[in-house]
Amino acid sequence: MLLLQQLINGLMLGGLYVMVAVAFTLIIGMLNFLNFTIPALFMVAAMMMWASMTGNLPFGNETLIGIFGEANMWIAGIIVAIVVVSIASLIIERFTYRYMKAKYGDATEHALPLVSSLGFLIMFEHMVISAYGSDPLTVISPFGDATFSIGSILFSYPQVISLILSLGIVFTLHYIIRRTKLGRALRAIAERPETATLMGVDVLRIVPIVYVITGLLCAISGVLFTINYTTVDAYIGDTVATVAIAGMVLGGLGNVWGAVIGGLIVGILEVFSIYIVGADFVKVPIWGLLLIILIFKPTGLFGHSAIGKGKF
């Protein structure tokens, strides 16, 4: 039963990694570069959630307390995190894709967006450090120790909600990509942006939507992480994104459902690694498994040899 409990805990943790892994997958699949601002957006969302719930917002908490009341500041934190991260995503899109594309054209593939996104990551981290320091910050979960049990297996309500919500968001995203006009435009850009433009797809209008979607995934996962684990810091995005990248590559670059499976696998593996060998060596089994799989299947479990072909 103890091993089954660890498996459940791993699935719950993996649910958070799923959304970050899918965020990486969307950017790589659509625009074919690794967006280093994703860990920064996750961290900003987590910090905004913490700041809202503890009265440490840069612009003050009085207005939000007047609207939501002190008992419901976690709801205000969700809204603040989503709004801030969405705006940040649009700013990042402007300077990692739109401005670079307009000024340098094809020279932006793929180093300039990658380097500029890395610059945003460093900038956001140091802005947070300047405001709140680099030490871990804690918050009291609005749900307390809300748990239920099935037999001898213990479940946390926030963790179950997080897993269900993350999978629900991925299902919704998959439906949008496969069944809607926006999804067809996104898949056309993923296949070949130049051809999509010739077919009438407004690439410069669609790409910001990709950034906002990835920002929303990061915001929701950052909020859920804060509620579930109650401890955040300026580098929490790096920690989570490192594991999420492993899950994304494990599942297969550019494959949304591969990112889901990969995220759940690394969540389970992390929990079992902590249980068996301790937290100090938790990254060794994750990246060791990744390296072994890449040796025998370089595209990951469900990946394609060509990142831009038929992945959605």
Q: Would you write out the chain's pLDDT as a tens digit for each of its 312 residues?
A: 678 888 888 988 898 899 999 999 888 888 777 888 999 999 999 999 999 999 899 888 888 888 888 889 999 999 999 999 999 999 998 888 776 665 555 544 566 777 888 899 999 999 999 999 999 999 988 887 777 788 778 888 888 888 898 889 889 988 888 888 888 888 888 777 777 777 778 877 888 898 999 999 999 999 999 998 889 999 999 989 989 999 998 888 778 888 899 999 999 999 988 888 877 788 888 888 888 888 888 888 886 655 444 455
> Whole-model pTM?
0.90
Tokens of 260: 């889901």
List C-alpha distances in Å: 264 to 75, 150, 151, 152, 188: 27, 21, 23, 22, 29
Q: Measure the CA–CA gap between 36 and 120, rounded to whole angstroms.
A: 8
Q: What angle do CA 116, 120, 126 make, to 5 degrees?
A: 140
Coil/strand/helix, residue 301: coil
Q: What pLDDT, on a 0 to 100 scale, did the predictor assign at position 127? A: 94
Q: What pLDDT, on a 0 to 100 scale, did the predictor assign at position 199? A: 79
Q: What pLDDT, on a 0 to 100 scale, did the predictor assign at position 192? A: 76
Q: Measure the CA–CA gap between 126 and 133, rounded to whole angstroms.
A: 9
Q: Measure the CA–CA gap between 79 and 228, rounded to whole angstroms.
A: 17
Q: Name the H helices within the chain.
A: 2-31, 37-54, 62-68, 73-93, 99-104, 111-132, 157-179, 181-191, 193-198, 203-229, 236-251, 256-277, 283-296
Orientation of helix 203-229 relative to helix 37-54, angle to 10°:
50
CA atoms within 13 A on the CB side of 188: 17
Q: What pLDDT, on a 0 to 100 scale, did the predictor assign at position 304? A: 61
